[in-house]
Amino acid sequence: MDASVTLLDQLIAEGLLIRTGVEGLYGRSGVFEDVIVRFEALVSRVGGADGAEVIRFPPAMTRRQLETSGYMKSFPQLAGTVHSFCGGDHDHMDLLATLDEGGDWTQKQEATDIALTPAACYPLYPMVAAQGPLPPGGRLFDVQSYCFRHEPSADPARMQLFRMREYVRAGTAEEVQAFRQRWIERAEEMIASLDLPYEVVPANDPFFGRAGRMMKVNQREQGLKLEMVIPVANAQPTACLSFNYHQDHFAHTWGVRLADGGPAHTSCVGFGLERIALALFRHHGLDPAAWPDNVRRVLWG
């Protein structure tokens, strides 16, 4: 039996996750949520002294921003746009008739101005650019949101809707690279304190199609993406954190500028909150009350 199915089955049987009928879309129990709350509190303690600006976006962004971001070019298969019905009484009767007949009633809807957020930091960059040049020393942000990626899977570590916590740094190349290096070290210490086995490895984003192959190679060769992988539910360990250096990509996409008008560089560290919770359940058991004392102390104090 597939190991990922086994862990998922255990989580379902224990009531930690709740099936909805769609792969990758699960309810969470209070116990599961509490692990995420506690892990986020740990992240906040570790990152707290840096004085990040806390910003929270809903789990959606404007479709216009998704378009401008280039996401449809690189990851069209993962994006989700929101469609709604905009007709009158007569159109509504048509829609209901189509629904009753088992037809595709969503054809009667139109695309709204809204798309689901693919990564917590996506709505941040246009906001930063709109607020004008960075002050000397740059800016640092703390973001978190539910994210959507259309990749139905029986692997509990590959959900269609999951939460990502991120710190995002904008500044000079030196500033953002130092930020990334500091967070790699912090993350190693943090994950080690939770008694989880890990490795930090070069990685690439899942760029789409034939044209995407070169993007993957380039991203790896330039060391722009590192992931912290932890065994979760598969033979291969799962990326639970990522450390990304975007160079001046968002300066060109959005106009994020340094105080002197030059292009800003950006970097982010992302925590895959459900994946980290799953790793804890996988390695320490399904009952957090029975987790090792040292792990419990780190999370529950």
Pick between residue 33 and residue 189 the one whose CB is nearest to its own copies.
Answer: 33
Smallest separation, CB 174 to its own copies (Å): 27
Output the smallest distance, CB 105 to its own copies, in A. Answer: 7
Q: Shortest approach of its own copies to residue 106 CB, angstroms?
A: 4
Cβ of residue 33: shortest distance to its own copies, in angstroms? 5
Please give the helix or strand (H or E) that residue 249 lies within, else none: helix 249-254
For residue 12, the SS3 value is: helix
The owner of tokens 């189509």 is 98
d(CA 218, CA 179): 22
CA distance linking residue 59 with residue 61, whole number of Å: 7
Which spans of this chain sit near its own copies (rule: CB under 8 A)? 18, 20-22, 25-30, 32-33, 53-65, 67, 72-73, 76-86, 88-89, 92, 95-96, 99, 104-106, 109, 111-114, 116, 123, 126-127, 142, 146, 148, 150, 152, 159-162, 208-211
Residue bearing tokens 């060109």: 252
Distance CA 97, CA 100 (A): 5
What tokens does 103 get?
Answer: 């037809």
- The backbone torsions φ and ψ at residue 272, rounded to the nearest 5 degrees and listed phi first, read -80, 100
Specify the DSSP class assigned to residue 263: B
Minimum distance, C-beta of residue 252 to its own copies, in the bound complex (Å) = 17
CB of 224 to its own copies, least distance (A): 23
Residue number with CB closer to its own copies (153 or 177) = 153
Taking the C-alpha atoms of residue 112 and residue 127, their distance in angstroms, rounded to an integer, is 21
- Nearest approach in angstroms of CB 62 to its own copies is 5
Nearer Cβ to its own copies (37/192) = 37
Q: Calculate the CA 112 to chain-centre distance.
A: 23
Residue owning tokens 């993007």: 215
CB closer to its own copies, 73 vs 297: 73
Toward its own copies, which CB reaches closer, 89 or 293? 89
Helix or strand (DSSP H, E) at 199: strand 199-202
Check residue 292 and report its DSSP letter: -
Bridge partner list, 265: 171
- Closest to its own copies by CB, 99 or 201: 99
Please, which residue, 109 or 247, has the CB nearer to its own copies? Answer: 109
Residue 150 Cβ vs its own copies, minimum distance, rounded to whole Å: 4
Calpha distance 204→221 (Å, rounded): 10
Residue 192 or 211 with smaller CB distance to its own copies: 211
Kindly state the DSSP code that residue 119 receives in the 8-state scheme.
S
CB atoms within 10 A of CB 137: 10
